[in-house]
Amino acid sequence: MNNLPNNTQPIILSSNDYNIKFDTNVKLDNLILKDSISDYPDIYSVLETYNEISGEIDLHNVLLKIIKIVINNTKTQNGYLILNRNSKFLIEAQYKAESKDFQILKSISIESLNAIYKPIINYVVNNNKSLVLNNVYRDIIFNSSVQDFENKPKSILCIPISNQTKLIGILYLENYQIVNAFSQNEINFLTILSSQLAISLENALLYKNIGDSEERFRTMISSTPVGIVISTLSDGKILYINEVIYKLFGHPINNSIEEYKTSDFYYNAEDRKIVIDKLDKDGYLKNHEVKVKNIDGIPFWVMISIQTLMYKNESAYIITVTDITRRKIAEEENEVSQREIARLSSKIHNSIKNKLDSISGRFHFFIKKFANELSEEAVEHLKMMYGLVNQSSSECKNILFAMSNRDCKLSILINEIHLRTKLSLSTTDITYYFHVNDSSEDIIVSPEIVQYVLDVHSEIFNDILRNCNLSKIDLFIGYIDNYIQFDIQIDCERSNCKIRHDKMSTFSFELIDEYSKNMGATFEIVTITDNSVLFKNKVNAN
C-alpha cells in the first residue's frame, strides 16, 4: 500500500455547486480523517483484499478478481476494467448488472464501445486522477458528453490504476439508479488498493508474455516492483534475481547472490520443508507467508508465490516475493493489544465479582440475623437484592470463563457445565443425570456462545432450585446439525409445578427468551406431565 502515489486524489464533481473540488486529504501513508472515520475502509478488509489479489499471476484470474472485488465493494451496476497497452486503452473485463455476468473480453478498443463516455476516460488518462460524477444529469462539465446516449447513468466513478506515475489501467464504474452512488468509503477503498492492483496487473502481463524472449523477460522483471527469483527445481540454486531482491536481502560482499541457494534464506529450516511439501503436492504455491533472513541474518516476513516455467530451455521455479513485515508487525501489535485488553477486562470483572460475593455474604448474614425484626415486605426486598447480587456475580464468573477460554472446545464447556451442575446440587437429594453427544468434543465455540450457554444454565438453575421442589434433573448437551443443543428436564416431587402454568412469565425466563432471540437462538419451555417440565435451548455453534 505504501507505493500508492500522492497524485491519485479523486476529483469530486458535485451537483450542489458544479465546481471541481480536489480532495487533497486522501493520502495512503497517513489518512487524514475529515468528517467521519466511516469514510475510510476497515484496514482488515483492505489487507484481506490485498492478500487475495497480490499473489495471483495468471492474467485471466487477475482480471476476474479485480472486477469482482470492485463489484462486491461498491454499488456498481456496470463496470469496465481498461488496460493501457502501449498507450492504447483496451477493455479487458466487464460486468453487467442485468445479466449479473463477469466477462473477460478480448482487448476491445474503447473507441468501438459506445457505452463508455470517452471524455471522462480522456480526463482520467491526461490527469492520472480519479473522477467522480455524483449526478450526471445535472453536471455542467461532462453532461454534454452523454447527451446522445439513450440510457444515461446517474453516477459515474472513474479511477486510475497506477504504479508510481505509470498508468497501468482504469476502472470505469456506473450506477443507473441513484445519484451519489459511490461513497467516500468506496472511493478510498479503491484508491488505497489501486497501487496493488497495478502491481498485480503488471506481474500478470509479465508472466503472460514471459516466453517471448529472455532479453525482454529480464528487462521486464528487472523493473517490476515485486521481488523475482528464478531457481532450479532440484536444489534451489538461484539462477536470476531482480533489483528488488537485492534491496530486500542485501548485496553479498565477497560473492554474487546467484551463488546462494533459496534454502540459505529461510529463517527456520522447517519452513522450507513445508514449502517443498506443498510444491510436491500441488506443483505450485500461492500467497504463502514465511519468515526469511537477509544476508546479515536479520529476519523479516515475506509472502511468496511459486510456479514452474521454462528458463534457458530448462524447467525452473519462478518465485514472487513481497515484503509483508509491516503488516505482520501491525498484526502482532494488535494481538498484544487484544491480550492486554482481555487481561484488564478480566481483572475488572474479577474485582467486581469478588466485591459482589462479599456483598452477597453480608446480605445472607443480615437476612438470617434480622429476619424476625423486619417486615415481610422488607425481607422480600432484601431477598430480591440478594438474588440480583448473586446473578451479577454469576454473570461476571461466566464472562471470566469465556475470556480465559477464547478458543474453547465444546468438550471444555460441557465439563464446566457438568461441574457447575454437580456443585449446585451437592447439598440436595436431587437425582441428577448427565447426557452428552460424543461427536462434539472438537468443535470450537466462540466466547459469545460460551457466555450465552453459561448464562442460560445459571439462570435456569437459580430459578428452579429456588422455586421448585425437585426430585430429578436430566441435562443433555451436544452438537447436532451445526447447533449446540442444551436441554434441561426437571421432575417435581408434587404435581402442578409453578413453571408449567406461568411459562415465560415465570421468574427470569422471559429475560432468557429475549437474550436468546438477540443471539439468534431458541428457548422453549415444554410441559411433559403435571410434574415434569423440559427447557429446550438451541444456538448456532458458529
Q: Find the farthest-apart pair of alpha carbons in the chain and give their distance in angstroms, rounded.
A: 102
Instruction: Determine the straight-line distance between the first and last CA of the chain, rounded to whole angstroms.
Output: 33
Handedness of CA 37, 40, 41, 44 (dihedral sign): negative
C-alpha cell at 224: 517490476
Find the angle CA(322)-CA(214)-CA(318) to the nearest 5 degrees. 30
Most confident listed range (4-18, 47-61, 270-284): 270-284
pLDDT band at 484 (very low <50, low <70, confident <90, very high): confident
Strand partners, 78: 96, 174
| DSSP secondary structure, 332-350, as one string | HHHHHHHHHHHHHHHHHHH
Q: Is the pLDDT of residue 35 over 50?
A: no
DSSP E strands in 176-249: the ranges are 227-232, 238-241
**Average pLDDT of the chain, as a whole number:** 78
Single-letter amino acid code for the residue at 315: S
Give per-residue pLDDT as tens, 344-357: 666 676 677 677 77
Structure confidence at residue 299 (pLDDT): 93
Averaged pLDDT, 130-144: 78
- Residue where the block lists cell 528488488: 244
The percentage of the chain sitting over the pLDDT mark of 70, rounded to a whole number, equals 78
Cα–Cα distance measured from residue 161 to residue 172, given in angstroms and rounded to the nearest whole number? 11
* Residue whose C-alpha cell reads 532479453 in the numeric block: 215
Q: Which of 210-214, 238-242, 281-285 is predicted least confidently?
A: 210-214
- Which pLDDT tens digit goes with each residue over 364-410? 777 777 878 878 888 777 777 777 777 677 777 777 777 777 778 88
Sign of CA dihedral 255, 257, 262, 267: positive
Q: State mean pLDDT over 330-335.
A: 82
3-state secondary structure 297-326: CCEEEEEEEEEEEEECCEEEEEEEEEECHH
Closest CA to 91 of 73, 101, 104: 104
pLDDT in tens, 447-476: 888 888 888 888 888 778 777 788 889 999
